[in-house]
């Protein structure tokens, strides 16, 4: 089943809608003991290379993926990668590698989960340029972790302050934790 949903990215004073593709997987985890530790997830942030943000050149059909992830692609290369639902994407070189100061998952007010992302100063400037360029074009930015696309939102408006919030009623706890963990890998 292809996960297609609208997600909301919030920049200070700016609310924008993004179309998100597949973002799922991992084990359910909660903070049962109240120590702030989210528990086990499908990835261990310290073991991964930083997430990459890449322009999507072309997307295939669901179940069209014939490649399997072996490792995070070299940042300066073009590549083909798949999302967790089997959709293959042709991707340009990485526009941004890492630069995430903080990524947290939390339950949202609508019953879904949300991911709050704070970029460092340099990454915020790069991301502002990228989202300004792609705003309103219908182009997607793929977030690649471990050689797999974990999210590919369509940019509707620029995000210029380095504060991003991805939210939606369809985002599960597992999806939110997986994305937050992947983004915290650097």
- Per residue in 124-133, pLDDT tens? 999 999 999 9
* CATH (residue range 52-185): 3.30.1360.200
What DSSP state is assigned to residue 71? Answer: S
Element (H, E) at 143: strand 141-145
User: Can you give the residue ranges of every domain in the chain?
Assistant: 52-185
pLDDT score recorded for residue 55? 97
Beta-carbon contacts of 36 under 8 Å, excluding residues fewer than 6 positions away, are none
Residue 128: both structure tokens together: 């502002």
Confirm if 95 and 126 have CB atoms less than 8 A apart: yes
The pLDDT tens digits of the residues spanning 7-48 come to 333 232 222 323 333 333 333 333 434 444 433 333 334 457
pTM above 0.85, yes or no: no
Residue 165: both structure tokens together: 């919030």
**Could you say which residues of the chain have pLDDT below 70?**
1-47, 67-70, 185-186
pLDDT score recorded for residue 172? 85
């Amino acid at each position: 089943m292809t996960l297609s949903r609208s997600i909301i990215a919030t920049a200070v004073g700016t609310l924008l809608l993004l179309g998100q593709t597949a973002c799922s997987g991992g084990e359910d985890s909660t903070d049962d003991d109240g120590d702030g530790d989210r528990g086990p997830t499908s990835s261990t942030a310290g073991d991964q290379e930083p997430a990459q943000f890449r322009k999507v050149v072309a997307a295939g059909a669901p179940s069209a993926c014939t490649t399997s992830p072996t490792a995070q692609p070299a940042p300066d290369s073009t590549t083909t990668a798949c999302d967790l639902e089997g959709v293959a994407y042709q991707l340009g070189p990485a526009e941004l590698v890492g630069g995430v100061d903080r990524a947290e998952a939390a339950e949202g007010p609508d019953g879904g989960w949300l991911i709050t992302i704070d970029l460092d100063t340099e990454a915020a400037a790069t991301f502002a340029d990228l989202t300004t360029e792609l705003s309103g074009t219908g182009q997607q930015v793929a977030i690649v972790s471990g050689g797999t696309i974990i999210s590919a939102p369509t940019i509707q408006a620029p995000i210029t302050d380095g504060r991003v919030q991805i939210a939606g009623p369809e985002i599960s706890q597992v999806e939110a934790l997986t994305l937050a963990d992947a983004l915290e890998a650097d």
